[in-house]
Amino acid sequence: MSTLYPRVGVGVILTNDRGQVLLGKRKGSHAPYWSIPGGHLELGESFESAAIREVAEETGLAICAPEVVAVTNNLETWRESGLHYISVTLHARAEGEPQLLEPEKCEGWVWFDPSALPEPHFDASRQSIACWLAGRCYLPGDVPMVSAGSV
């Protein structure tokens, strides 16, 4: 299936007090990939509001003050599925343990060292974590959509 325009995905890199990132083993359309929490930007919604909503819907965790850390053009997803997404990824600290609130979409949530991601890993999630770790808003070789100084 192909759309006429790219859609906007919102992902959230959640970190705990040990510096680990929260990843879910996806089911359904994103199986069998591991990924950060996230979903689609809804009409009239800010990136921050979408991040707060998605994290609450998927994990039950309450976050505040998420900050944009990456914008990626997910061409690998388009090549594989015909779905073209631009992903805006935010970072927030998480307190507590996640709950599995959407068992039809995810097998469970696990904390991982960000330098040792589980496989297979969803392309948009991998790109976003790489950007965050490098302190860049986009990966080298991508056409920059947001300059590092403007976020």
Instruction: Quote the DSSP letter at residue 41.
Output: P
**Beta carbons of 61 and 114 less than 8 angstroms apart:** no
Query: Residue 141's closest CA among 95, 81, 73, 82?
Result: 73
Nearest 5 degrees, angle CA 11-CA 41-CA 1? 90
Cβ–Cβ under 8 Å, residues 14 and 93: yes
Selected residue with higher pLDDT from 107 and 3: 107
Please provide the average confidence, as pLDDT, over all residues in the chain: 88
Q: What is the pLDDT of residues 21-68, one digit of tens each?
A: 999 999 987 789 999 999 999 999 999 999 999 999 999 999 999 999
- pLDDT band with cut points at 50, 70 and 90 for residue 141: low
Q: Where are the domains of the chain?
A: 7-138
Q: What is the pLDDT of residues 100-124, one digit of tens each?
A: 999 999 999 999 999 999 999 998 8
Class of domain 7-138 as given by CATH: alpha beta
C-alpha pair distances (Å), 94 with each of 50, 52, 60, 100, 128 = 16, 11, 11, 15, 18
Residue 113 CB-density burial (10 A; 0-12 exposed, 13-18 middle, 19+ buried): exposed
